[in-house]
Chains A and B, each alone.
Chain A
């Protein structure tokens, strides 16, 4: 048969490559954690099943078979076969075996007969065919013991497999996992040869210090297939602009270290221009203005820690910032409160490798100040949703929040 010849040719090629390869890695069958099995079960009920009798629901029968195979450890993946062309699908998707069964339930007799076959996908041959005839099981028996004869026979089957080598290309030093029990490291030559079984699908993950982690699913069908892992260097420099309190635009430059976990920011928070939309009916000094301008800028420095991996879709971080409140009228640090510190918690959403959106919330603490003067500087407690605490020489206000966009350079 053509498929058999093709399998033999593949195996021979694999042997030749294995004998001559340098940087290559072999893979044992056990290392793969089992085979990939498809199941297809039809259930036919003849006559009425007595109330309180055994299981006649086809869904439960199919699920019990999948569970039994999965639980056996023989298979690392069990998937229900499509209604049509199950062999073709199994081959294309890298499954090794198809377990097909026909369940006939004789309701009045309270008995069941299951005719099952096991098909080796690569050879297309039926490698097992048998029947289970038994009293109609209750749900517990179906889930726990009914399929034992089938599992017992299935575990003896070694499906036809083809060994081949694939090449993994990427930056030297990249750790690639998914092709064996231990991660592989791409040598400085940039290419690694790995023995795999085909057909097969291999979820992989590549990690390298200073780069984003990458992952995917590799499904080699032919010998000498190539998995290319493109360089994905981290972008340690970023410029971010935010709306502090959703009112005041600011600008920060960020430098990240230690796989993007630690970052330092240098930037400018400003109050020369901002949105100001107080309650137009509020009394006191607040009036509906739309725009606010105060002669103060705050150059600042921040140090923070990001919890998640840099490529994470959502990430969280914390940082502390110290800002010098510079009074542009006096051309001096603000005599009322020369220093502002902030403690913030942030969530960022990496919309693309170069852009992330973020939202931050936290509190601001003003040391070295007269607390009542800082409070008086706000102009009224109706100037926005906030809470405060103060003492003779400090002032604390919360919450503070900020939204913005970070551009990775």
Chain B
């Protein structure tokens, strides 16, 4: 006769219904303790690092500890490489732009101001911000937005003066600043005047009188009125005119006139053009990348930028070529203080070699 063993197999693994009790406790505990930890990953910084690795070493770099007001801004240096130690501090968002000034005066010495006054940005990524070519002690930054009504001049480093200028009381439909010679940019602005599309242009540099003196030039053939101001400029390479802006249906359209009397051609570019290079190529800066198009709107290549900013071109007299300038401002958090460190780097590459940065 088989007698079943008395006692139980101890079931080291058995726990009984208590486990469900603990499981029931664990799940809410996990949810309630979900923390605010942020992984050490920033897509913009990673994108910038990808391109920085192709740009090589920065031509100028500094690490400074700034006040908490600097947070979220980036450094826009003067055009003159000998003056890279001073420039504007730019806060740019899709709806607002704001400027400050940073001047490095020595090791761990700097002057920094950060006015709280901001300007509305109705141009989004197409907002034009430039430090002028040349340099003088009363230098300033131009910005082509201020509600789409004209160009603003913001004096640096310390005299906080803002001047607006517009050739028309009507809103602009596009603005642009294009490097024209090694000594100045050309500022362009297009606007509708009682149904007539006009444009004005004026050279701007560090010594330009402000406001500039311009004469409106009419277009023979118009285009639909954009829903918001965008980019407008004349190519220094082919003399054609470009208007890239958002249409009423929300899509971006880019038009090209070979001359003011020509019929506009819609180019195969369905993004906002934001810049024009000295060689006539078109740039679309989406904040995370810069896409380069041919003058006739054909896609050429894309550069990962992220935290890297294409800021302007400068002319290199020694090598007789245009140089594209990028800056990167990395905000390095510090413990127990809001005054963070900032690693500021300036990179340069010949404009004709930009394709080497393609992803």
Contact = CB atoms under 8 A, between A and B. Distances in A.
Interface of A: 201, 212-222, 224-230, 243, 245-248, 271, 275-279, 282-286, 292, 294-296, 311-313, 325, 327, 329-330, 332, 334-337, 349-353, 357, 366, 370, 372-386, 395, 397, 403
Contacts of B36: 276-279, 282, 286, 382-384
Interface of B: 1-10, 12-15, 19, 22-23, 26, 30-31, 33-43, 45-47, 49-50, 52-53, 71-72, 288, 304, 330-336, 338, 341, 343, 359
B10 A215 contact: yes
Contact of B331 (A282, A370, A376, A386): A376
A5 to B, nearest CB: 18
16 contacts: A225-B5, A246-B33, A247-B34, A247-B35, A275-B34, A294-B41, A313-B12, A325-B41, A329-B43, A330-B359, A372-B341, A374-B40, A376-B331, A378-B333, A381-B334, A384-B36
Given A214-B10, A215-B12, 19 more contacts: A215-B10, A217-B8, A221-B6, A225-B2, A225-B4, A245-B37, A247-B34, A248-B39, A275-B31, A277-B36, A286-B38, A294-B41, A330-B50, A335-B52, A375-B332, A378-B42, A381-B333, A383-B36, A386-B37
B40 A378 contact: yes
Given A220-B3, A403-B30, A271 B39 contact: yes
A312 B10 CA distance: 12
A271 B41 contact: yes
Given A277-B35, A294-B39, A385-B35, A224 B2 contact: yes
B196 to A, nearest CB: 44
Contact of A216 (B7, B72, B304): B7
A403 B27 CA distance: 10
Give the interface centre of A201, A283, A332, A378 by most chain B CB atoms within 10 Å.
A378
B49 A212 contact: no
Given A296-B41, A330-B359, A378-B39, A201 B3 contact: no
B334 A216 contact: no
B7 A312 contact: no
A357 B41 contact: no
B19 A397 contact: no
B8 A377 contact: no
A104 B35 CA distance: 70
Nearest to A296: B41
A259 to B, nearest CB: 15
A352 B15 contact: yes
Contact of A327 (B22, B37, B46, B335): B46
Interface of B is mostly: loop
Given A217-B8, A245-B35, A335-B46, A224 B3 contact: yes
Contact of A384 (B2, B37, B43): B37
Contact of A214 (B9, B331, B359): B9
B34 A351 contact: no
Given A213-B12, A351-B19, A381-B335, A222 B40 contact: no
A375 B40 contact: yes
Nearest to B26: A357
Nearest to A225: B3
A257 to B, nearest CB: 20
B33 to A, nearest CB: 5
Contacts of B23: 351, 357
Nearest to B331: A376
A275 to B, nearest CB: 4
A220 B46 contact: no
Contacts of A332: 50
**3 tightest A-B CB contacts, nearest first:** A384-B37, A278-B36, A383-B38
Contacts of B4: 225-226
A224 B8 CA distance: 18
Contacts of A383: 36-38
B88 to A, nearest CB: 21
Contacts of A325: 41
Give the interface centre of B4, B15, B39, B332 by most chain A CB atoms within 10 Å.
B39
A326 to B, nearest CB: 11
Contact of A222 (B1, B53, B335): B1
B125 to A, nearest CB: 18
Contacts of B49: 335-336, 370, 373
Given A216-B8, A228-B5, A376 B332 contact: yes
Contact of A226 (B3, B39, B335): B3
A77 to B, nearest CB: 15
Nearest to A377: B42
A377 B45 contact: yes
Contact of A277 (B3, B34, B333): B34
Contacts of B71: 284-285
A379 B359 CA distance: 25
Nearest to B12: A311
Contacts of A245: 35, 37
Contact of A295 (B7, B13, B22, B43): B43
Nearest to B51: A335
A228 B2 CA distance: 11
A277 B30 CA distance: 12
Given A376-B330, A403-B30, A329 B38 contact: no
A185 B345 CA distance: 73
Contacts of B336: 381
